[in-house]
Structure 1
Amino acid sequence: MYTGLEDPVTHVHHFELQIDLQGVRDDARCRIFPATLSKISQQWFFKLPPRSITSWDGFVRTFYSQFSSAMPLPAEPNDLVDIKQKDNYPLKEYIQRFMREATKVKTLSDDDKLIAINSGIKAKSLFWSSLKRKVARTTQEFLDQTKEFIKLKEAKRKVDKPTQSVTEQWKIDVGNTSIPAEGAKNGAKNGKHNNENGNSGNLNDNKKPKTAEQSKPWEYVPNFTTCSILLETRRTFLMLHRLSYHTEDLHR
């Protein structure tokens, strides 16, 4: 549906493509085309004078004239020179963007396209250096070199990825290793005491060097490893516990 804000040329071309596949005649096109209009464009069509449409070509010219403000400005070959590969911008995305904009230029020679796409490559990059060693004579040769370079770069990335993963995993394991703080260890053992010779000293003075075992994370070790099955209710055990305390007080 055409609302009056899109490109009218693109809409007509799309409509003609669908109609040509079905073999519709020009007089029938004038009757079918209004069904693709909506909002402002539909209001414009209903305001046309009766019997003002005499042919399909004349109707298209009137349609273009009415919605000419929605037509995009035609792209020029010089506009392609402004497309540059910025820092940290992948080569693949730059090529895709350039070729997409190049399709908007009506008259563009292969030499102009090659000059524009070469000028946008980031200077002193790896691909820029490759182009200096092997100059592309046509746009197709340039695109072929681009494909080979991108494939080589992706293959190298796949080879380097496992090594990076192992290194990153080692950093994560080391980072997750928890070592007790020095203040917590020293706070429990700090203070002067008398040794066997009667001299005062600190426990930290006789501490052994830290080993790999001491660097491991602390693990919880339960005090009781076996449990007995209760044969009475908890209420009975509580009453017996209170009775034993009462008996001790009487003996005192």
Structure 2
Amino acid sequence: MDLYERTIDPKHHLSNFKSQMYLADASDATRCKAFLMTLTKAAMKWFDNLLLSLVTYFDDLARKFLTRFSIQKDKVKHAPSLLRVKQEVGETLRDYMEIFNKACLEIQNLPTKAVIMGLVNDFKEGSSINPYPSKTRLSCTKCKSG
């Protein structure tokens, strides 16, 4: 299990820890002691300064941990955030699509329309992902005569 360094959502860390303790069929006292081993730096300092007399059960410890480190929780992302994903100058289409797909995966219940709008928005702004750059686009008169 990864150590908690205040860079991830504390709910994720706690959930992972609880899952492992459940599988090990650990007692409440063991969970309290083992949780200390999953902390680093500031989180360890917090634990050291915690008045252990106020912690009777692991659930108490878990609540105090979440209260203290809740500012680290993941920020919820929404569909409009896709409009900020742009292909950088010199970035390959493959790299751009990889970044765009990762951004899509971070949004829960993402409607297909929002994905399409995110890509179309980049096309409209003259991005290099536009498969028909204005220099090579054929005019209607050339299409009819050719």
Other structure's SS at 1:44 match:
helix
Contact 2:89/2:128, CA 8 A, preserved across alignment: no
Q: Alpha carbon RMSD of aligned pairs, Å?
A: 2.9
Alignment of 1:181-196 (within 5 A): none
What letter is aligned with 1:41? A
Counterpart in the other structure of 1:84? 86
Range with greater deviation from structure 2 (115-124 or 41-50)? 115-124
Q: Identify unmatched segments of 5+ residues in structure 1.
A: 129-252
**Identity of paired residues, percent?**
22
Is the counterpart of residue 67 in structure 1 residue 69 in structure 2? yes
Residues in 2 aligned to 1:2 and 1:86: alpha-carbon distance in whole angstroms: 33
Q: Deviations for 1:103-140, whole angstroms, at most 9, x for unmatched residues?
A: 33344333323332443353773279xxxxxxxxxxxx
Residues in 1 aligned to 2:51 and 2:105: alpha-carbon distance in whole angstroms: 38
Other structure's SS at 1:126 match:
coil
Is the counterpart of residue 103 in structure 1 residue 105 in structure 2? yes
Is the counterpart of residue 33 in structure 1 residue 35 in structure 2? yes
Task: Give the TM-score normalised by the residue count of structure 1.
Answer: 0.42
Counterpart in the other structure of 1:234? none
Query: Deviation of residue 63 (structure 1)?
Result: 1.0
Residues in 2 aligned to 1:96 and 1:17: alpha-carbon distance in whole angstroms: 31
Residues in 2 aligned to 1:109 and 1:85: alpha-carbon distance in whole angstroms: 21
Is the counterpart of residue 24 in structure 1 residue 29 in structure 2? no
Query: Deviation of residue 64 (structure 1)?
Result: 1.8
Is the counterpart of residue 126 in structure 1 residue 131 in structure 2? yes
Task: Give the TM-score normalised by the residue count of structure 2.
Answer: 0.65
Residues 1:42 and 1:81: Cα distance change in structure 2 (over 3 Å) = same
Contact 1:9/1:64, CA 8 A, preserved across alignment: yes
Residues 1:113 and 1:87: Cα distance change in structure 2 (over 3 Å) = same
Residues in 2 aligned to 1:66 and 1:112: alpha-carbon distance in whole angstroms: 36
> Which structure ranks higher in relative contact order (CA pairs < 8 Å, sequence separation ≥ 6)?
2
Contact 2:4/2:38, CA 8 A, preserved across alignment: yes
Contact 1:26/1:56, CA 8 A, preserved across alignment: no
Q: Deviations for 1:187-240, whole angstroms, at most 9, x for unmatched residues?
A: xxxxxxxxxxxxxxxxxxxxxxxxxxxxxxxxxxxxxxxxxxxxxxxxxxxxxx
Query: Deviation of residue 82 (structure 1)?
Result: 0.9
Other structure's SS at 2:37 match:
helix
Contact 1:74/1:105, CA 8 A, preserved across alignment: yes
Contact 1:34/1:42, CA 8 A, preserved across alignment: yes
Query: Deviation of residue 41 (structure 1)?
Result: 1.0
Contact 1:77/1:112, CA 8 A, preserved across alignment: yes
Residues 1:107 and 1:52: Cα distance change in structure 2 (over 3 Å) = farther
Residues 1:95 and 1:32: Cα distance change in structure 2 (over 3 Å) = same
